[in-house]
Amino acid sequence: MTDGPRPRHPALRVLASPAGATWRVVVCPHAGGAASYYRRLVGAPGAPDAPDSLGASGAPDAPGSTAGAGAAVPPPTGPFATSPEVVAVQYPGRETRFGEPLAGTMTDLLADVSGPVRGLLADGVPTVLLGHSLGASVAARIAAGLGPDAAPDLLVVSGRAARADRPGSAGDAGEGSDVVGPGPAARDDAALRAWTTALGGTPPELLADDEFFALHARVLRADLAVHDSLAATPGEPADVTVPLLLLAGSDDVASPPASVAPWAARARAGVRQRVVEGGHFFVGERPDEVIEALRVALTAVAAGTCAADVARPSAEDRWVWLREAGASTGADS
């Protein structure tokens, strides 16, 4: 990392900055989420301390939560063997920015967060830009707006169906639905509670608390409106011109692996794909595996081998191969 203090911006929260870190992960959160949820990534291999667990909405987990549990990951090696700096984007209207107006369209949200992320990437530290769920669409658009000298070294699309990123577009059935959450006409508290419960990641006792849920529903409705606005957002990025890693949860009911895989067709600088055991919030359930997948992919980028993945088998064949390989050897792609 560079020496000396770095500029602070309310749209960025530095969750961990270990001494001697050689790389960085910048996270764009999911719909209804906030920066604090991604403190789970700080507990990756080599991190000095694992932080307190936080729910998908940035609220504490219930006692006995298994968040962070996952398969053993071998000690990291190579140029990115250190624990990364972890920075989370803080969208307006939540946590440390609670008093600010919520963004209601993707255009408004990008106007708020793109500049701070661009400024962060300007220091030249090898950086992975990871977007989870709705955050994947945010991250893809931030990356598309950056020139070659300012773009992240690796873009990660996590838990986001390809068709959901381009609502209203024609696509194969395998790309999944372009509807995210309850439709706009059915977003009352009951519908939002049912959908959030189905996704998992937030303790049921919190969802049953009316005061907590009122705060969560306020943010979630705004973020779903951001998704709804994608069809009318100008400058939709058709291609991904930086190396791309696709992550999907094996049991994700919102974005199953087959619906994430078609992102590969948009990759122009190499693509890797990985299925992680878990549901929609596998990032929080298996943070060590996620960080290791990022490390392996970034190492391939640095070695100049990521682009070779473009010529590999079809996206669907790759998902099958990865799951079989992972079951038998635990190896990454």
d(CA 93, CA 240): 29
Return the pLDDT at 184: 76
Q: Roughly what angle, to the nearest 10 degrees, separates helices 134-144 and 106-121?
A: 60
Return the pLDDT at 231: 83
> Which amino acid, 48?
P
User: What are the tens digits of pLDDT across the range 180-203?
Assistant: 877 776 788 888 888 898 888 888
User: What are the tens digits of pLDDT across the range 43-70?
Assistant: 644 443 333 333 455 433 332 333 344 4
Give the mean model confidence (pLDDT) for residues 218-238: 86
Give the mean model confidence (pLDDT) for residues 299-323: 62
**Mean confidence (pLDDT) of the chain:** 82
User: What are the tens digits of pLDDT across the range 246-292?
Assistant: 999 999 999 999 999 999 999 999 999 999 999 999 999 999 999 99
End-to-end CA distance of the chain: 28
> Which amino acid, 140?
A
| Model confidence, pTM | 0.82
| DSSP states along 52-70 | --B-TTSPBPPTT--TT--
d(CA 330, CA 61): 29
Contact 128, 156 (CB under 8 A): yes
- Whether the pLDDT of residue 90 is over 60: the answer is yes
Contact 310, 242 (CB under 8 A): no
Helix (H, G, I), strand (E, B) or coil at 275: strand
* Superfamily, domain 12-328: Alpha/Beta hydrolase fold, catalytic domain (3.40.50.1820)
Q: Enumerate the domain spans of the chain.
A: 12-328
Q: Which residue has the tokens 């890693």?
A: 245
User: What are the tens digits of pLDDT across the range 112-166?
Assistant: 999 999 999 999 999 999 999 999 999 999 999 998 788 999 999 999 999 999 8
